[in-house]
Amino acid sequence: METYKRLLLNNKAWVEDKLNLRPDFFTKSSGVQKPEFLWIGCSDSRVPAEEVTGVEPGELFVHRNIANVVVHTDFNMLSVVQYAVEVLKVRHIIVCGHYGCGGIKAAMGRQHLGLINKWLRHIKDVYRFHKTELEAIPDEAKRYERLIELNVDEQVHHLAELSFVQRAWKNEQRPMLHGWIYDIHTGHLKQMTKIDPGQLPNEIYAYEFPD
Ligand code: CO
């Protein structure tokens, strides 16, 4: 059997399972979506957002890219965040990194990888901002873990720097911003960073809005 056919067969079994549990499963979830959370995670196949958080379809709005980066010129990510904040009115945005992230590993190295260098360059910037702290860690594995953590923290700060996040803070006191790490060795999620609505970490990035 071609490997891809397993996915289609799995889908049939999944539909049956869901309907056995709740006959209205699809009719109920096919209405308007009202997720409370936006998840920005890594594309890594070992970090399935809905599965590790135990949520049902309809609960999580999801954006994933290599190394869960929030890049200010990325219209894809910006569109997702703006829609989540202004239309879906999510209450929480979670940036989730993970130990063992290949994107972070590659950004720590010097191998030329073509186009992806341009993407990973944003992580090299995070390294540069925290070079003193990182290079004081003698153990390479520990330094790698720390950069994974610092990257999540940096990306959460980038969310706080977005004008439409700040406007929602001012007008509706949401969303709360979170930085989490998923440990692929244990399956556990760990909270790293939390920014309450209105708590902009650096005023350089503050915008003013007319009342
Ligand atoms: Co990754």
Give the burial string for 8-44 (b: 16+ CB within 10 Å, else e). Answer: eeeeeeeeeeeeeeeeebeeeeeeeeebbbbbbbbeb
- Tens-digit pLDDT profile for residues 4-41: 999 999 999 999 999 999 999 888 777 788 999 999 99
Show the domains of the chain with their CATH numbers: 1-31 (no CATH), 32-198 (3.40.1050.10)
Q: Which residues are catalytic?
A: 42, 44, 46, 98, 101
Distance 67 CA to ligand 1 centre (A): 4
The predicted model scores a pTM of 0.95
Give pLDDT, residue 31.
Answer: 78
Distance 185 CA to ligand 1 centre (A): 14
Distance 19 CA to ligand 1 centre (A): 34
Query: What percentage of the chain has pLDDT greater than the value 90?
Result: 93
Distance 189 CA to ligand 1 centre (A): 14
Question: If you search the block for the tokens 């920014």, which residue do you land on?
Answer: 195
Distance 168 CA to ligand 1 centre (A): 29
The mean pLDDT of 42-46, rounded to a whole number, is 98
pLDDT(211) > 90 = no
Q: Enumerate long-range contacts of 139-144, CB under 8 Å, 24 or more apart.
A: 143/108, 144/104, 144/105, 144/108
Q: How far apart are CA 167 and CA 210, in angstroms?
A: 10
Q: Which amino acid is at 5?
A: K
